[in-house]
Amino acid sequence: MNKTIVVLGTQWGDEGKGKIVDFLTENSDFVVRYQGGNNAGHTLIVNKKKIVLHQIPSGIMHKKVISVIGNGTVISPTSLVKEIKMLEANNICCKDRVYISPNASLILNYHISMDLAREKRLNEIVIGTTGKGIGPAYEDKISRIGIKIYDLANLNVLKLKIKRVLNYYNYQLVNFYKEKSIDYKVIFNELAQSASFILSMVRNVPEILYKAIKDKKSIIFEGAQGTLLDVDHGTYPYVTSSNSTVGGVCTGTGVGPKHLDYILGVSKVYMTRVGLGPFLTEVFDEIDDYFFLKGNESGSTTGRRRRTGWLDIVLLRKAIKINSLTALCLTKLDVLDELKEIKICIDYKFSSINSSIRKEDFIFSQNTLENITPIYETLPGWNESTAGITNFKFLPILAKKYINRIQELIGIPIDIISTGPSRDETIVIRHPFKI
Q: Which residues contact ligand IMP (rule: CB under 6 A)?
A: 12-14, 39-41, 127-130, 132, 134-135, 224-225, 229, 238, 240-241, 274-275
Name which of 107 and 263 has its Cβ closer to ligand IMP.
Answer: 107
Alpha-carbon span 271 to 278, nearest angstrom: 12
CB closest to ligand IMP, residue no = 275
Q: For the CA atoms of the chain, what is the radius of gyration?
A: 22
Name which of 97 and 273 has its Cβ closer to ligand IMP.
Answer: 273
Provide, rounded to whole angstroms, the least separation between the CB of residue 263 and ligand IMP.
Answer: 19
Name which of 27 and 225 has its Cβ closer to ligand IMP.
Answer: 225
Interior angle at CA 193, CA 187 and CA 197, nearest 5: 125
Name which of 240 and 253 has its Cβ closer to ligand IMP.
Answer: 240
| 337 catalytically annotated | no
Provide, rounded to whole angstroms, the least separation between the CB of residue 406 and ligand IMP.
Answer: 22
Provide, rounded to whole angstroms, the least separation between the CB of residue 130 and ligand IMP.
Answer: 3
Alpha-carbon span 92 to 273, nearest angstrom: 31
Q: What is the 3-state secondary structure (H, E, C) of the chain?
A: CCCEEEEEECCCCCCCHHHHHHHHHHHCCEEEECCECCCCCEEEEECCEEEEECCCCHHHHCCCCEEEECCCEEECHHHHHHHHHHHHHCCCCCCCCEEECCCCEECCHHHHHHHHHHHHHCHHHCCCCCCCCHHHHHHHHHCCCCCEHHHHHCHHHHHHHHHHHHHHHHHHHHHHCCCCCCCHHHHHHHHHHHHHHHHCCECCHHHHHHHHHHCCCCEEEECCCCHHHCCCCCCCCCCCCCCCCCHHHHHHHCCCHHHCCEEEEEEECEEEECCCCCCCCECCHHHHHHHHHHCCCECCCCCCECEEEEEEHHHHHHHHHHCCCCEEEEECHHHHCCCCEEEEEEEEEECCCCCCCCHHHCCCCHHHHCCEEEEEEEEECCCCCCCCCCCHHHCCHHHHHHHHHHHHHHCCCEEEEECCCECCCEEECCCHHHC
Provide, rounded to whole angstroms, the least separation between the CB of residue 181 and ligand IMP.
Answer: 23
Name which of 21 and 208 has its Cβ closer to ligand IMP.
Answer: 21
Name which of 276 and 346 has its Cβ closer to ligand IMP.
Answer: 276
Q: Choose the catalytic residue: 42, 54, 62, 233.
A: 42
Provide, rounded to whole angstroms, the least separation between the CB of residue 422 and ligand IMP.
Answer: 21
Provide, rounded to whole angstroms, the least separation between the CB of residue 234 and ligand IMP.
Answer: 9
| 42 catalytically annotated | yes
Please list the residues that pair with 111 across neighbouring strands. none
Name which of 9 and 184 has its Cβ closer to ligand IMP.
Answer: 9
Provide, rounded to whole angstroms, the least separation between the CB of residue 34 and ligand IMP.
Answer: 14
β-pairing verdict for 66-69 and 105-106: unpaired
Q: Choose the catalytic residue: 14, 115, 312, 334.
A: 14
Provide, rounded to whole angstroms, the least separation between the CB of residue 205 and ligand IMP.
Answer: 22
Name which of 226 and 342 has its Cβ closer to ligand IMP.
Answer: 226
Which are the catalytic amino acids? 14, 42
